[in-house]
Structure 1
C-alpha cells in the first residue's frame, strides 16, 4: 500500500523536479482559489466566473499543441525554466492589480489567458522530460509520486487560501504565489540539460499533424484522451464552489471544498504501491472515470456540507486512479521523438476539459440552479464514459504486458542505454505485433503471464 519511492531514490533530476514542483504547486493553488473569488467579488456573477474557463481555452489549444512541438525540438529544461519565470511575472501582475484602489476585472482574464498559454508551453516539456529521467518500469511509481506532490500543494494551498483570503486579503495570496515561482526557478536551475535528438525537426504544422496522426491511429491512446475530456466537461463544477458554499450556509467551507478533490487524490497516491501490479490500464481508467461522475452526482444531491465534502474527496480519489493509469499508458507507449507533441495533445485532453467544464457548469447553473448543474453533470459523465467503453474496445482491452507499443518503447530505451541503438529523440521502429494486427487492437496474451485486476 505504501508508495514506491524508487524514482526518488534513483534519479537526482526527478528529486529536483519533484521538490521544485511542490513549491510552485503550493503557490499556484493559492491563486487557483483567489482568482475566481476575486471575479465573484467584483462581478457577483456565476457566468463571469465560469467565463474564466472560456478565456483560458483558446491559448491552451494553440500553445498546448505548439508547446508539444517545441518540446521535441528544443532543450526541455530551458522551456521549463523560461515558462516558470514568465508565470512568476503573471503572478506579479495580479498582485499589482489587486493593490490598486479599485482593482479592474479585465486584467484577471488577461492573467488567466497568459497562464493558460504558458502552461501550454511548459507542461509538454515537463511530461516529455519524465521518461528520460525515470526508468521505464518506474513510470507508474513516478506518476503516483508526481500526483502526490501536486496533491500536497492542492490540500495545503486551498486550505491556507481560505484563511489568508479571510484575514490577510487577496494580495497576500498573490504575493506568496510570486515567491514560490522564484524559489522553484532557483531549484530547477540544477536540472541536467535535456537537448533534442540530433535529427529533431523544427516546430511546424506538419510536425504537429504527425503527432495528431499517431494519436488518431492509437485508439487505446485516443480513448484515454476522450474519457478525460468527458469526465471534466460534465463533472468539473469548481466554478460553482463559491456559490455552493453560500447555498449550504457554509462560507467557511469554501477552502475545504477546493482542498477536498486533491485530498482524495492524495489518499490514493499515498497508498499507491498496488498500482504497479495493475496491467489492464484502460479498464482502470474507464471504471475510475465512471466513479468520478457518480461521486460528483452525489455531491450535488446531498444537502449536508460534510457529506458534500466527503463525496468531493471520493471524486478526487477516483480522479487520481484514472490519472495514474492514463499517465502510465502515455509514458510507456509513446516514442521519445513524439513525446513532446503527444504531451501537447495530452495537455489539451486534461486541461481543455476542465476549462469547458467551468463554462458548462456556470451556464447550466444560470439556467437552472447550482445544485442541478452539479448533479446533472455527474450523471452525464457516467453516461458518456459508458458510451466510450462501448465505442472504443481497444481501450477496454489494453494490457501493458502484451502491448506492442509498450514493448517497442521499452526495447528502444534498453538499446539506447546499452549504446547499441539510436540516440534519444530517434523514433523506434513500429512494433511488429501491432503491424500484424496483434497490438493494441488485438492483444496477444503472454505465455505464463499472471492474471491482472483493474
Structure 2
C-alpha cells in the first residue's frame, strides 16, 4: 500500500488520482500557452510529414525515395542535436525557441508556396525536411530546458506527463488529418494549415520571459563539457542506458509489415493497426498518469517500466492472435511513456540549469538514433533467423539487460525524488 509520504516533493497529501494531474496547466499561464502551442504545432508537423511523403511518392513513384525522407530528417537531427543543446545552455532560450519556431514556420510557408506554384522537385522537399530537422534540433533542448524555470520541481512530473500526451496526440492525429486534408484540398491546403499552426507556438514563445541559462562565470558552453558532466553523474547516465535497452534491443517496428502478412494474413491496414497500438498505449500512459505522483523512487519506476516493455514485446512475439498482439503492443507503449516521464523528470530536477540544454541534446540523439538502430537490429536478426526469434529474443534481451543494470546501478534504484542526486 502506497502511503501519502510518497507524494511528490512539496505536495500536500491528496486523494489518490488516476487521470493526469492538470496542476501545471492551472497554475502557470506560460506553461499553458507553451503546452497548447506545442499541441497545435505537433499536429501540424504530423500533417506535413505525411504530406511530404505522399508528394515524394507522387513525384517519383518510388518507395525508396519515400524512405529517404526519414534519412534526410534523421541525419541533421542527430548531427545538430548535441550542438542545439550547447546553444541552449549559452543564449537566451526564449530567443532560441522563438527563432527556431520562426524558421519552421518559414519552411512551411515555402512548402505551401512551392505547392501553389506547381514546383515538383523531390530535392527541394528533401532540403526542406533537412532544415526542419535542424530547427527541431534547436528548439527541443530550449523548450525542455524552459519548463523547470516555469514550474516548481513538484510539478515537473505532471508537466512531462502532459507533454507526452502532446507528442503522442500529434503522432496519432496529425498524419490521419493530413491524409484527409491532402485528399480534399491537396498539398497546398496541408502545408498552409501547418504554417498557420505555428502561430500558436510563436505566440507562446513570444509571451515567455527571458530565459538566460543560470551559468557560473562567462565560460562558453561546450558539447564536450556536457558529455564529461554526464560521464560523472551515474543516475542521469542510467536514464540513457535504460532507454537504449528498450529502443535498440526490443524495437519490433521494422518487422510490422512482414508479420502483418506472415502471422495475421493481413495487409496494409493490419500494419496500420500494429503501428497505432503502441501509440494508443503511449497516449493512455499520459492520460492515466495521476498515480505516478505517488512514486518516490523514480529509478526503480524506470527499471520496472522498461522491463514491462521488454516483457510485452517478448510475449507479442509468441502470439498469433491479432487482438492479443495489439493489446500487448499497447501495454508496451504505455510502459514506454511511464519510463519517459520519469526519465525526463530526473533530467530536469537532478541536473543544474546550466547543463539542461546539453542533456536534452543527448536525449535527442538517443531518441532519434536508438529506434533506428533497433529497426536495423530487428531486421538483421529476422533475416538471419525469423521475425519471431527477433522479436521475442529482443524482448528477453531487453529484460536481461535491465536486470543487469539494476544490479549495477544501486544508486539508481535508490534515487529519491525528495533528495535528487544526479
Q: Give the TM bin, normalised by the shorter chain.
A: 0.7 to 0.9
CA positional deviation for 1:290: 1.9
Aligned match of 2:63? 44
Aligned match of 2:210? 193
1:348 pairs, out of 365, 377, 398, with 365
**Partner SS, residue 189 of structure 1:** helix
Q: How has the CA–CA distance of structure 1 residues 112 and 403 changed in structure 2, closer, same or farther, with 3 Å as cutoff?
A: same
Of the structure 1 ranges 363-372 and 179-188, higher mean CA displacement relative to structure 2 is found in: 363-372
**Partner SS, residue 202 of structure 2:** helix
CA positional deviation for 1:223: 0.6
| Alpha-carbon distance in 2 for matches of 1:186, 1:43 | 39
Question: What is the CA deviation profile of residues 295-346 of structure 1, one whole-angstrom value per residue up to 9, with x for unaligned ones?
Answer: 2334444444433432222121001110111111111111112222222222
Question: What is the CA deviation profile of residues 229-282 of structure 1, one whole-angstrom value per residue up to 9, with x for unaligned ones?
Answer: 221123334455556556652423555444433321221222222212111111
Aligned match of 2:242? 227
Q: How has the CA–CA distance of structure 1 residues 119 and 197 changed in structure 2, closer, same or farther, with 3 Å as cutoff?
A: same
**Partner SS, residue 177 of structure 1:** helix
Q: Gaps (5+ residues) in structure 2? A: 1-17
| Alpha-carbon distance in 1 for matches of 2:281, 2:180 | 21
Question: Is residue 103 of structure 2 the alignment partner of residue 86 of structure 1?
Answer: yes
Aligned match of 1:423? none
Question: Is residue 409 of structure 2 the alignment partner of residue 392 of structure 1?
Answer: yes
Pairs within 5 Å for 1:415-434: none
2:291 pairs, out of 255, 265, 274, with 274
CA positional deviation for 1:388: 2.6
Q: Gaps (5+ residues) in structure 1? A: 406-454
| Contact 2:41/2:194, CA 8 A, preserved across alignment | yes
TM-score (norm 1): 0.76
| Contact 2:97/2:139, CA 8 A, preserved across alignment | yes
| Alpha-carbon distance in 2 for matches of 1:363, 1:310 | 26
State the aligned residue count: 401
Question: Is residue 223 of structure 2 the alignment partner of residue 216 of structure 1?
Answer: no
| Alpha-carbon distance in 2 for matches of 1:72, 1:324 | 22
CA positional deviation for 1:76: 0.8
| Contact 1:53/1:355, CA 8 A, preserved across alignment | no
Question: What is the CA deviation profile of residues 391-411 of structure 1, one whole-angstrom value per residue up to 9, with x for unaligned ones?
Answer: 333322322234455xxxxxx
Q: How has the CA–CA distance of structure 1 residues 153 and 336 changed in structure 2, closer, same or farther, with 3 Å as cutoff?
A: same
Aligned match of 2:282? 265
Aligned match of 1:5? 22
| Alpha-carbon distance in 1 for matches of 2:79, 2:220 | 13
Aligned match of 2:141? 124
Pairs within 5 Å for 1:205-354: 207-239=222-254, 241=256, 248-253=265-270, 255-354=272-371
Question: What is the CA deviation profile of residues 112-159 of structure 1, one whole-angstrom value per residue up to 9, with x for unaligned ones?
Answer: 433332222111111110100001111111111111222332332244
CA positional deviation for 1:208: 2.1
